[in-house]
Amino acid sequence: MENELRSIGEMARDSGLGVSALRFYDRAGVLGPAWVDPASGYRWYAPEQLDEARLLARLRRAGMPLADIRLVLAGWSGEDTDLVRGLLQAHLRRLERGLAEARGEFSTLRALLDHRESPMTASPRTGTVHLSLPAPALAAALDAVRFATGRDPELPMLGGVLFDVEGDALRVVATDRYRLAVARVEAVGHGGSREQVVVPAPLVDAMRALLGSDEPARFAVEGDRVTLEVGERQASGQRLAHDFPDYRRLVQLPPGRRVVVDVAALREALENGPVRVTEEREPGRSARDISVLTTVDDGTVLVCGDGAPEGDTDGNRDVSRDVSRDDDTAGDTDRGTDGVGYHVGVDRLFLLEALAAGGRDRLVLEFGPAPTAPLAIRRADDEAAFSLLMPVRLDD
């Protein structure tokens, strides 16, 4: 019998629905498998269900409510075209009303922005900064944040690294909306007020190339010009003519569970473990592979199979990987909830890049109090350097 049926993985691949979406629609009574193996619980689908699954994927992408999807599928299988057309038209009208309302709200927001900007006149930036930094520390800081710079042409202010100078410290910050990275370097020589300058990513890379020695690095801002000198070498260019978002508001996270992880073990689990492929796009990339993480009461972090609950694994039970366990070294960092008890989805590539940028054999993962909270990746020996990853919704 199995030779005539499609596995859940094959159905997911050919229909455009994820494995977890197929499980969800089965539990919701929308699209159930033709046969479930009583021994393993594995789902199998009939060949004729593929067209129905593809229809479901289209309705899902169009944002149709689940109750209407159920009726459309029922009408489709019964050839009730009047019902199907009526439901499609009703949903299209809802989308058009929602778009009209959204346009109205955006028009109001644009007017508010124009009002905020109208008293301000365009003028050259006159901030001046001169400070000295240890080259190795600045190199490490840039390495810790460079991966998080944005590439969206619609958001040019995120296409560089913020150099935030205040007192005796330089903080470098980067974000592309999906992730944010911060690092701190001790500095000397700046006696003025707080200054912020956004250095474009290519110039950041040119600066990083100078930082291969122990010589002090001299960082300077004169109006619109940014310069880094190391010995006789220099990298210089124009700052970005944009303001960077207030990152300090973005890093105010509620307390959560903190667990020390072995980076090599976590990397191996991420690279070889299961992923979900989401339709959500990010500029410059065709799709996103999502890894699902969870913690259990004993402090273990697992890379799970599609976030499936225990007993509903469809073959994923054996691929969960134990990558950490609270121990004496982590006990003083656990300051929150006992056993997070939920699955959190993160972009696998982003997490791998954050682990590499962390530059340590062991890092601290901080899970928030809910799956909608960012995942923080911290250095246990340097709380000033950390990354935040925005979670990916797992509900379908």
The proportion of the chain whose per-residue pLDDT surpasses 70, expressed as a percent, equals 84
Q: Check whether residue 204 and residue 226 sit in a common domain.
A: yes
Dihedral pair phi/psi, residue 10, rounded to 5°: -65, -40
Q: Is residue 140 part of a domain?
A: yes
Does residue 307 come out as left (phi exceeding 0), alpha (psi in the -120 to 50 range) or beta?
left
Q: From residue 46, how far is each of 36, 255, 315 by CA, in Å?
A: 11, 47, 19
On the question of pLDDT at 390 being above 60, the answer is yes
Q: Say which amino acid occupies 65.
A: P
Average pLDDT taken over every residue of the chain? 84
Q: Residue 182: is its pLDDT beyond 60?
A: yes
Q: Which of 215, 248, 281 is the last residue of a domain?
A: 248
Which of 154, 153, 171 lies closest to 162, judged by CA? 171
Q: Which helix (H) or strand (E) covers residue 164, if one does?
A: strand 160-166
280 and 204 inside one domain: no
As given in the structure block, the two tokens for residue 392 are: 């990916």
pLDDT on residue 3: 60
Position 300 pLDDT exceeds 70: yes
Question: Range with the lowest mean pLDDT among 168-177, 196-205, 279-288?
Answer: 279-288
Question: Which one of 206, 221, 248 terminates a domain?
Answer: 248
> pLDDT tens for residues 185-227?
999 888 778 899 999 999 999 999 999 988 899 999 998 999 9
Do 342 and 267 reside in the same domain of the chain?
yes
Given a cut of 70, whether residue 311 has pLDDT beyond it is: no
| Two tokens, residue 114 | 């124009």
Answer whether residue 107 is part of any domain.
no
CATH number for 189: 3.10.150.10
- Asked whether residue 117 is assigned to any structural domain, the reply reads no
Is the pLDDT reported for residue 29 higher than 90?
no
Q: Are 74 and 66 in contact (CB under 8 A)?
A: no
380 located within any domain: yes
Number of domains in the chain: 3
Distance CA 377, CA 333 (A): 13
Is residue 118 domain-resident? Answer: no
Q: Do 169 and 231 belong to one domain?
A: yes
What residues contact 74, with CB distance under 8 A and at least 6 apart? 80, 83
Confidence category of residue 352, pLDDT binned at 50, 70, 90:
very high
Residues 33 and 75 in one domain: yes
Q: Hey, CA dihedral for 132, 250, 146, 143, is it positive or negative?
A: positive
At 24 the pLDDT is 85
Domain boundary among 91, 110, 136: 91
Q: Is 102 a domain residue? A: no
pTM, to two decimals: 0.75
Expressed as residue numbers, the domain containing 309 is 253-389
CATH number of domain containing 44: 1.10.1660.10
pLDDT of residue 286: 52
Same domain, 194 and 299: no
User: Residues 289-300: what's their mean pLDDT?
Assistant: 82
Residues 270 and 292 in one domain: yes
Q: Residue range 323-328: average pLDDT? A: 50
Q: Are residues 231 and 258 in the same domain?
A: no
Is 238 in contact with 225 (CB distance < 8 Å)?
yes
Concatenating the DSSP letter of every residue in 91-155 gives HHHHHHHHHHHHHHHHHHHHHHHHHHHTT--------EEEEEEEHHHHHHHHHHHGGG----TT-
Per-residue exposure over 345-373, b if at least 16 CB sit within 10 Å of its own CB, e if not: bbbbbbbbbbbebbeeebbbbbbbeebeb
- Asked whether the predicted pLDDT for residue 276 surpasses 80, the reply is no
Q: Is residue 339 part of a domain?
A: yes
For residue 296, name the pLDDT band (cuts at 50, 70, 90).
Answer: confident
Bridge partners (DSSP) listed for residue 235: 228
Whether residue 317 is predicted with pLDDT greater than 50 in this model: the reply is no
Residue 126 has what pLDDT? Answer: 59
Residues 132, 202 share a domain: yes
Q: Are 92 and 53 in contact (CB under 8 A)?
A: no
- The reply to whether 146 falls in a domain is yes
| Domain match, 133 and 7 both | no
Cα separation of 228 and 139, whole Å? Answer: 12
Based on the fold, state whether residues 205 and 309 are members of the same structural domain.
no
> How far is it, in rounded angstroms, from Cα 169 to Cα 167?
6
According to the model, what pLDDT value does residue 305 have?
Answer: 60
pLDDT at 135 over 80: yes
**Tokens (6 digits) for 292:** 């699902």
Does residue 375 share a domain with residue 354?
Answer: yes
